[in-house]
Amino acid sequence: MNNTYPGKICASIAERTIEKAIAAASTVESFADVVEIRLDALENPQITPFTEKIQKPTLFTNRADWEGGAFSGSEEERLAILYEAIEKKASYIDIELKTDDALKLPLIEKAKSTGCISIVSWHYFSSTPSLPALKSILQEQYRSGAQIGKIVTMAKTPQDVLRVLDLQNQAKELDFPLIAFCMGNHGAVSRVATLNLGGFMTYASSDQERQTAPGQLPASTLHRILTEINCGN
């Protein structure tokens, strides 16, 4: 697929079985640049079936329940499968910024040693913090050693959206690729705008019924909008 838009579309897949997740991925691969597998949603999480059958670059996320995900086991158990993803040539892994440094930093270093790209993420599901607070989070992500930052908040007003999108200015100064947009109805526009403002990636669902976060657009819709906006640029 030759994209006319900047940045990448990541289709997020959260299904209970491997078979359903692979089937969902197959429906969006023509619209997505990256496919995220939410390991925390799977009844029996594995890596190999996805790296073998998905043609697009794969991102593996095992989201903890304290960050809005479904994984409730120990941190060592949660991260063990991300180490497996690194060893089996995943393109990306997602590690939460709030993960204890003693566990987070070795995982990031392991990813670097194999060429796997680490995304250090921070989500806030109730509101959007002040711009100074958001910039502090970005600085912490930059210092973590991860290659990419991800900041996602819940937008209650248009001003919330503007604060999050403004983070791309600081990210550019740091030369640090950043994923930054907002959830919710107010935030939907930011999922489109972020790429044209310098964002590394934006996230989409496989279809309208399978959102992994509020305000998520289907990958086919997001691809069409971004292509139309950037056509001829």
Three-class SS state of 116? coil
What tokens were used for 29? 């691969």
- Strand ranges inside the chain, DSSP E: 8-13, 34-38, 58-61, 92-96, 117-124, 148-154, 178-183, 201-205
Give which of 113, 110, 129, 175 is closest to 149, Cα–Cα: 175
Instruction: Give bridge partners of residue 94 from the DSSP assignment.
Output: 61, 119
Catalytic residues: 123, 150
CA 22 to each of CA 28, 48, 156, 199: distance values in angstroms, whole numbers, following the listed order: 10, 12, 34, 27
Contact assessment for residue 184 and residue 158, using Cβ atoms and an 8 Å cutoff:
no
* Separation CA 76–CA 220 (nearest Å): 36
